[in-house]
Structure 1
Amino acid sequence: MTVMMMMTNNSCQNMAELRVYQHLVYAIVYTIILVPGLLANLLALWVFKVYIRETKKAVVFMMNLAMADLMQVLSLPLRIYYYLNNSWPFGHALCLICFYLKYVNMYASIYFLVCVSIRRCELIMRPLRYKGSKLKVDLIICTLGWLFVCLGCLVFPLLRNIKHNDALVTSQVGNTSPEVNICFSELPMQKINGSTAWVILILGELLGFIVPLILVLACTCLTAESLRKQSSSTIPDQGEKRRALRMVLSCTVVFLVCFGPYHISMPLDFLAKANTLSSCTLKDWIQRCHPFALFLASLNCSLDPIMYYFTTYEFRRRLSKPEIPDLMSSGR
């Protein structure tokens, strides 16, 4: 125990050791996510494009969710390169863009998971209201959602937008100590006072996690309750209700598994990087655990396609053998 405490306290002073550890974890987890996430989301977009006009069951929202996941996956090669080579040679502007897109894609995924849950719940609770085509309405909701997310996430690159000369560190990896360009979470943070930091954290947690979580849980409870009731105002098909419940439950599970740990560790990591924590032990522990929470958040782009397959009948039908030739001809 004494040795462990000494190692923890030393790591607070020796940031190079922590940096090597984080780079190794990030390189491994992003490599694991890259290929399955890329293939699965390309396949999902291919399927959704074909039957987008055949069903009203939140397909537009799932298509935008797949687009957000695909954008996140496409940014992973640059991240893997950085964490393997410990240097960013692509310029400060591209670094900020990749850093910004990470948060845009994550919170867009959260937004569209909520939209999928609400729409499936509404289709069960009030099916007559959505008897007609709602494609234009869904497109407007998606556009407003992207706009809201893009504007809200601007705070992340703005807090890190410091002059290029200030974004240099001395690397102590191995026996050399060259000056290298840093990127992503290692970018220096703008100096802000404590009250401003807390306002940013509270708003981010409320709008980005707590309110969406409440909506997803509410949809889950309402859908489960409708399964037990027999009413002329709801869909009489119990099989349809069960499929809707599986979809909403899947959204809840993905939401909690992927984004719950991240939004617990994110404010702590923010405080640690802002040097507002006095305990070296606590600061070091937070920065060693945060990469795994970020891994779970990134894993969302691989879990969503699994959710499409097991909870959406049309998705499975399109991937069945009799439907593949039709799908290919429609694509041509």
Structure 2
Amino acid sequence: MASENLSNCSKPPDFQHTLYAITYTVIFIPGLLANSIAVWVLRNYINKKSKAIIFMINLASADLAHVLSLPLRIYYYINHTWPFGRFLCLLCFYLKYLNMYASIIFLTLISVQRYVFTANPFKAKDWKRRYDVAISVCVWIVVGSACLAFPIYRSSGMTNSTSCFADLGTSKMTGGTTVGMLIAAELSGFIIPLTVITYSTVKTRTQLKINSLEGIKEKGKRKALWMVMMCAFVFIICFTPYHISFFFYVLVGSQAIQNCVAQKIIMDFHPISLCLASFNCCLNPILYFFIASEFQNEMVKHGSSVIRMRLTSRESVSSMSP
């Protein structure tokens, strides 16, 4: 009887399907538009000398890949059935975590690069774009390989072909494997990036204060501070709740936490933390639209050219009219 009551405590909350459906519906349109425009503008209209643009393109691409999978998620959580097959289910599941950890790494890289180039301007001049490309390729290989653990962990639980995502079961793992996976995910995906982003933000702010005391006013360094602060903000809002929740979620799954009330709180909070993690697709574009001055300039130029074309066409039509 006690075992049965405990299993009821660790059941997923009844509201999670509704929560996921609403969250992904809210995210889909703004996330699709913002990241599609970001990829297009960053690839074609940004000055090639701009720093961190390669990392921003990869960040926007990671967000776009996740956003494009959201309609299938929305369909499932509304209809409570999955007619698209095992492969698409696991692919969409994989893209969720690929987006999360790729975003974490690229936000960290943007923060570090902005701090280093702010503190050492000569390094910025000597830095080659191909270095960023090489780093990005390495990130995708490492993160892509590491994130395969998530669909593998859940794939054996796919006993029902019409179930997917939150309704998948989990593979049985030994205590050592569970601890190893938990430590690796928390260290590489949360603690180390959080420490690095925090350090970059504090040091960039300190550098800006030193410049102010010396009477140096550099607009570029102030923008760099806003950028690393935005990276920290996105990380704290989107990824910190999930990684705190994930730690206790794994403990519940391994029966390390036996208290019924604690299990219920953890299981209720877990889907909320996953939804917060998905909002990074809408928050990351703020880096491009409101902080990267080059991005703003190119958007203004593009908008101005469109307006001029429309005015020219109207003038041509009016001149031809009697």
Note whether the superposition's TM-score is higher than 0.5.
Answer: yes
- For residues 142 and 309 of structure 1, the distance between their equivalents in structure 2, rounded to whole angstroms, comes to 22
Written as runs of structure 1 = structure 2, the 5 A alignment for 1:1-332 is: 12=8, 15=11, 18=12, 20-132=14-126, 134-162=128-156, 164=158, 167-168=159-160, 181-230=162-211, 237-320=217-300, 322-324=301-303
- SS of the aligned residue for 2:279 comes to helix
Inter-partner Cα distance in structure 2 for 1:185 and 1:133: 44
1:192 aligned partner, one-letter code = M
Secondary structure at the counterpart of residue 181 of structure 1 = coil
- 1:282–1:163 Cα change, 3 Å: closer
* AA partner of residue 74 (structure 1): L
* Amino acid across the alignment from 1:185: A
Q: Distance in 2 between matches of 1:31 and 1:74?
A: 12
Change in Cα spacing, 1:10 to 1:133, as seen in structure 2 (3 Å) is: closer
Q: What runs of 5+ residues in structure 2 fail to find an aligned partner? A: 309-322
Give the SS at the match of 2:284.
helix
CA contact (8 A) 1:277 1:283 kept: yes
Q: CA deviation at 1:96?
A: 1.3
- CA gap 1:151/1:141 in 2 versus in 1, 3 angstroms: same
Aligned residues: 302
Q: Take 1:163 and 1:103, find their aligned partners in 2: how far apart are those partners? A: 18
The change in CA–CA distance for 1:259 and 1:274 in structure 2 (over 3 A counts) is: same
Aligned amino acid, residue 130 of structure 1 = A
Question: Per the alignment, in what secondary structure is the counterpart of residue 131 of structure 1?
Answer: helix
Q: For structure 1, which runs of at least 5 residues remain unmatched after alignment?
A: 1-8, 169-179
Mapped partners of 1:91, 1:275: distance in 2: 31
**Structure 2 Cα separation of the partners of residues 93 and 277 of structure 1:** 33
- Measure how far apart 1:108 and its partner are: 0.3
How many angstroms does 1:285 deviate by?
1.8
C-alpha contact 1:47 1:327 (8 A) present in aligned 2: no
CA distance in 1, matches of 2:292, 2:152: 39
Q: Mean Cα displacement is larger for which, 237-246 or 129-138?
A: 129-138
Residues in 2 aligned to 1:163 and 1:278: alpha-carbon distance in whole angstroms: 23
Indicate the SS of the match to 1:191.
Answer: coil
1:5 is matched with none
TM-score (normalised: structure 2): 0.87
Post-superposition offset of 1:133: 5.7
Query: 1 CA distance for matches of 2:126 and 2:188?
Result: 31
Change beyond 3 A, Cα 1:228–1:163: closer
Q: 1:328 to 1:109 in 2, by over 3 A?
A: farther
Amino acid corresponding to residue 324 of structure 1 in structure 2 = G
Deviations for 1:289-315, whole angstroms, at most 9, x for unmatched residues?
111111110000100112322211111
Tell me the distance in 2 between the aligned counterparts of 1:268 and 1:40: 33
TM-score, structure 1 length as denominator? 0.84
**What secondary structure, in the 3-state scheme, does the structure 1 residue paired with 2:15 have?**
helix
Identical-pair percentage: 43
Give me the CA root mean square deviation: 2.4
Q: 1:327–1:317: structure 2 CA closer, same or farther, 3 Å change rule?
A: farther
In 2, distance between residues paired with 1:327 and 1:226? 41
Deviates more, 1:33-42 or 1:303-312: 303-312
